[in-house]
């Protein structure tokens, strides 16, 4: 059984990622062809399982990280085509900017930060569930 406070926290975070995914799909969803087994945006079980963009997160204790514990996320594109580095960087920057705007709205007074942590990104800071 999952802690209800943790479930609420992660539900809010998932809502942010879902809104970002929808924005990206509407703006850039036709930029590259989807992998052959990938359903179009809006036709999958969840927003991270359909369309061009895969945005998901998982909690990390941060044992080998200088940033400590937090939610690690990676931005992926569900295409077999070669994605230009410029396009990918543009998407990364937009995701990070949107997270920095949305996190304070969903988690006021938490002072959450977003930073690159190795090859991934991490949301870290005050992760208190209350």
- Quick: pLDDT tens for 14-61: 999 999 999 999 999 999 999 888 876 877 777 777 789 999 899 999
Query: Quick one: which of 107, 75, 105, 106 has its CA closest to 88?
Result: 75
Q: What is the pLDDT of residue 115?
A: 95
Are 73 and 56 in contact, with CB atoms under 8 Å apart? Answer: yes
96, 24, 72, 70: CA torsion to nearest 10: 60
Distance CA 1, CA 20 (A): 29
Consecutive H or E run containing 68 = none
Distance CA 59, CA 69 (A): 8
pTM of this prediction exceeds 0.85: yes
């Amino acid at each position: 059984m999952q802690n209800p406070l943790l479930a609420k926290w992660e539900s809010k975070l998932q809502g942010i990622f879902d809104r970002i995914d929808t924005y990206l799909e509407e703006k850039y969803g036709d930029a590259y062809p989807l992998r052959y087994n990938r359903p179009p945006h809006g036709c999958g079980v969840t927003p991270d399982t359909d369309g061009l963009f895969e945005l998901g997160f998982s909690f990390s204790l941060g044992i080998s990280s200088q940033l400590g514990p937090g939610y690690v996320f990676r931005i992926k594109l569900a295409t077999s085509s070669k994605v230009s580095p410029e396009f990918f960087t543009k998407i990364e920057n937009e995701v990070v900017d949107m997270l920095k705007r949305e996190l304070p709205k969903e988690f006021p007074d938490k002072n959450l930060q977003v930073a690159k942590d190795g090859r991934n990104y991490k949301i870290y800071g005050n992760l208190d569930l209350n």
